[in-house]
């Protein structure tokens, strides 16, 4: 075959391969076949541009994960602290009666009420009392998974303190004896005592916030992009939905599950609030509080697409 | 070169301690995973989409990967197999079917042969490599490639033939 002829026939074969047309005729031609096989393999040659783009994306994700690693968090706090807004005083009494909560700090807050910080076991919660009119944080109930020594006793104390029963204590298939209540302000408390060593309790603090989300799987991907959250557990339900999941943000855990969204507010103590704020905005959050320097530290806030509010703060006085 | 299990273990431990080290896992396995996925999807956009999902999920879940001597490649192939199942489910195909099989030894040999070929593309003279990438990756016509390289269509066709011949020769007995 003259070279001119071979050049054109190879080119026709390449055209057919690129167009996913039938190129098998080339494989029957002894001169063309070895080149056609090489060309057929090249159709699956990975694009160098694609590889570079994906590398950049992954690099950004990994730097996010590193950024939320708490190296200068506020002493006594993990990276994520739930912030419960309630209209009136009273929640702290409920938490004291049921979970033996200790108030560690209080000061006048926004909305004419008090800002309080309470410890339950090894976990911290923040409570904002007073009207949310004109404020940034809205009054909305949140959900929590709480480990206690004796779930039956804690459940009874909760009901006695005015909670509504959502589920009597019972042995659950996931290795906990658990009972569920709604406090007088609407917050959900999933109270649990581990049944065996394989329970989550061994790797979790006393109180873990639970994010109910419609489309929890996609929301988990979002949290990875926005906050550098790292998936630790994902248990699918019968329709492949997220029945239960746990993610880690810095040194704090959050739990998630598929349900009607029940958004709340969270304070994140991080070394670099500016970068995290920008990253959350880039991922699709909207700004609700531009970054600024306050007496207690540098702080800014965003709201994500399902309504959770995330405030990023670097404390003014670094821990000793 | 096939990584040893000791290489895998060190890579996993490094990535678990410092997420930035995950990029080393990416560099080592992206061609292999893409080659597997590309065979099963057939179209470039879908292959890139699924490959992205595989590595993003691997990054998310590397923290709970427990080293039990299973090669890292097998773990990534498992993620890829599930991502392919999702891909077809979303397209309404095989909705009730099982996930695609993991690659068998024949397919793994085929993937290795292709990876060797792709490494040879990088060794081609610059202009031949550009012709191969524009034709096969960017799916440009001869006329478009000629315009981009400022050469005649005849010259580009000749470069294409030379490149394919060089690749066939360099593959020797593997081609």
pLDDT tens track for A94-142:
999 999 999 999 988 866 789 999 999 999 999 999 888 888 898 999 9
CATH of the domain at B47: 1.10.1740.10
Give yes or no: residues A38 and A132 share one domain: no
Give yes or no: residues A82 and A230 share one domain: yes
Interface probe for A, chosen from B37, B135, B168 (most Cβ of A below 10 Å), is B135
Q: Which residue has the higher pLDDT, A238 or B45?
A: B45
Nearest CB to A48 within list B133, B141, B154 = B133
Nearest CB to B157 within list A8, A34, A54 = A8
Q: Which domain holds residue B21?
A: 1-102
Give yes or no: residues A144 and A248 share one domain: yes
pLDDT tens by residue, A156-183: 999 999 999 999 999 988 888 999 999 9
Percent of chain A with pLDDT over 70: 92
Q: Mean pLDDT lowest for which of A193-197, A198-202, A311-315, B140-144?
A: A198-202
Give yes or no: residues A12 and A65 share one domain: no
| Domain assignment present for B136 | yes
Whether residue B1 is predicted with pLDDT greater than 50 in this model: the reply is: no
Q: Which residue has the higher pLDDT, A23 or A94?
A: A94
> Please, which pLDDT band fits residue A64 given cuts at 50, 70 and 90?
low
Give yes or no: residues A180 and A37 share one domain: no
Determine phi and psi for A129, rounding to 5 degrees.
Answer: -105, 150
Count how many domains chain A has.
2
Interface probe for B, chosen from A31, A35, A42, A222 (most Cβ of B below 10 Å), is A42
> Please, which pLDDT band fits residue B175 given cuts at 50, 70 and 90?
very low
- The C-alpha atoms of residue B99 and residue B81 are separated, in whole angstroms, by 6
pLDDT tens by residue, A259-272: 998 999 999 998 88
| Domain assignment present for A189 | yes
The complex's ipTM? 0.88
Whether residues B56 and A62 touch (CB distance < 8 A) is answered with no
Count how many domains chain B has.
2
| Domain assignment present for B175 | yes
pTM above 0.80, yes or no: no
| B36 → chain A, closest CA residue | A44
Which H or E run contains B40? Answer: helix B22-41
CA distances from B146 to A283, B91, B125 (A): 40, 37, 17
| Cβ–Cβ < 8 Å for A262, A97 | no
For CA atoms B6, B12, B17, B23, the dihedral sign is positive
| Average of per-residue pLDDT values in chain A | 88
Give yes or no: residues A128 and A36 share one domain: no
Give yes or no: residues A33 and A82 share one domain: no
| Cβ–Cβ < 8 Å for A257, A303 | no
Q: Mean pLDDT lowest for which of B31-35, B51-55, B81-85, B135-139?
A: B81-85
| B159 → chain A, closest CA residue | A7
pLDDT reported for residue A197: 63
| Domain assignment present for B110 | no
Give yes or no: residues B97 and B169 share one domain: no
Look at residues B154, B9, B118, B137 and name the one whose alpha carbon lies nearest to residue B68.
B9
Which H or E run contains B88? Answer: helix B72-90
pLDDT tens by residue, B73-111: 889 998 999 888 888 877 765 444 445 567 778 888 888
Q: Which of B 66-105 lie inside 8 A of A, CB atoms?
A: none
Beta bridge partners of B92: none
Give yes or no: residues A15 and A134 share one domain: no
| Domain assignment present for A266 | yes
| Domain assignment present for A235 | yes
Whether residue B25 is predicted with pLDDT greater than 60 in this model: the reply is: yes
| Domain assignment present for A320 | no
B174 touches chain A (CB under 8 A): no
Which H or E run contains A244? Answer: strand A242-249
Percent of chain A with pLDDT over 90: 59
Give yes or no: residues B87 and B6 share one domain: yes
> Please, which pLDDT band fits residue A72 given cuts at 50, 70 and 90?
very low
CATH of the domain at B147: 1.10.10.10
Nearest CB to A45 within list B27, B137, B165 = B137
Give yes or no: residues B17 and B98 share one domain: yes
Give yes or no: residues A17 and A145 share one domain: no
pLDDT reported for residue A145: 95
| Domain assignment present for A51 | no
CB pairs under 8 A between A and B: 125
Give yes or no: residues A100 and A160 share one domain: yes
Whether residue B65 is predicted with pLDDT greater than 70 in this model: the reply is: yes
Give yes or no: residues A9 and A132 share one domain: no
Question: What is the DSSP secondary structure assignment for residue A317, as one 8-state letter?
Answer: S
Q: Which domain holds residue A30?
A: 3-45
Give yes or no: residues A183 and A38 share one domain: no
């Amino acid at each position: 075959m003259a070279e001119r002829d071979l050049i054109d026939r190879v080119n026709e074969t390449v055209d057919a391969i690129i167009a996913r047309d039938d190129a098998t005729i080339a494989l029957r031609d002894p001169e063309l076949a070895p080149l056609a096989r090489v060309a057929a393999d090249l159709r699956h040659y990975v694009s160098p541009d694609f590889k570079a783009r994906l590398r950049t994306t992954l690099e950004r994700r990994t730097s996010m994960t590193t950024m939320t690693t708490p190296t200068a968090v506020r002493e006594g706090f993990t990276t994520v602290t739930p912030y419960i807004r309630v209209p009136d005083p009273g929640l702290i009494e409920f938490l004291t009666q049921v979970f033996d909560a200790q108030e560690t700090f209080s000061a006048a807050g926004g909305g004419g009420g008090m800002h309080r910080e309470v410890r339950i076991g090894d976990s911290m919660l923040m409570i904002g009392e007073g009207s949310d009119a004109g404020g940034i944080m809205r009054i909305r109930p949140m959900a929590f998974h709480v480990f206690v020594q004796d779930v039956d006793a804690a459940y009874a104390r909760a009901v006695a303190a005015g909670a509504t029963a959502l589920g009597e204590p019972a042995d659950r298939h996931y290795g906990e004896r658990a009972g569920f209540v709604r406090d007088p302000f609407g917050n959900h408390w999933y109270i649990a005592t581990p049944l065996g060593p394989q329970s989550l309790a061994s790797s979790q603090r006393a109180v873990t916030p639970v994010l109910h989300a419609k489309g929890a799987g996609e929301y988990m991907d979002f949290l990875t992009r926005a906050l550098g959250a790292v998936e630790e557990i994902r248990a699918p339900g019968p329709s492949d939905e997220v029945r239960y999941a746990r993610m880690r943000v810095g040194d704090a855990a959050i739990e998630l599950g598929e349900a009607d969204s029940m958004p709340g507010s969270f304070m994140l103590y991080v070394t670099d609030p500016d970068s995290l704020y920008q990253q959350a905005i880039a991922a699709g959050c909207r700004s609700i509080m531009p970054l600024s320097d306050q007496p207690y530290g540098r702080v800014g806030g965003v709201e994500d697409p399902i309504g959770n509010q995330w405030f990023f703060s670097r404390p003014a006085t670094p821990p000793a | 070169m096939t990584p040893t299990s000791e290489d895998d273990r060190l890579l996993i431990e490094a990535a678990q301690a410092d997420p930035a080290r995950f990029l080393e896992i990416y560099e080592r396995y992206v061609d292999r995973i893409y080659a597997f996925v590309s065979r099963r999807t057939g179209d470039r956009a879908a292959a890139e989409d699924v490959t992205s999902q595989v590595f993003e999920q691997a990054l998310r879940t590397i923290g709970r990967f427990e080293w039990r001597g299973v090669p890292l490649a097998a773990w990534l192939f498992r993620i890829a197999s599930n991502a392919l199942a999702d891909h077809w489910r979303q397209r309404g195909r095989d909705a009730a079917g099982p996930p695609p099989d993991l690659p068998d030894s024949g397919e793994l040999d085929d993937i290795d042969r292709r990876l060797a070929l792709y490494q040879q593309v990088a060794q081609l003279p610059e202009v031949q490599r550009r012709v191969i990438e524009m034709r096969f990756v960017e799916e440009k016509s001869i006329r478009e490639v000629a315009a981009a390289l400022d050469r005649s269509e005849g010259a580009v066709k000749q470069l294409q033939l030379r490149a394919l011949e060089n690749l066939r020769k360099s593959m020797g007995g593997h081609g």
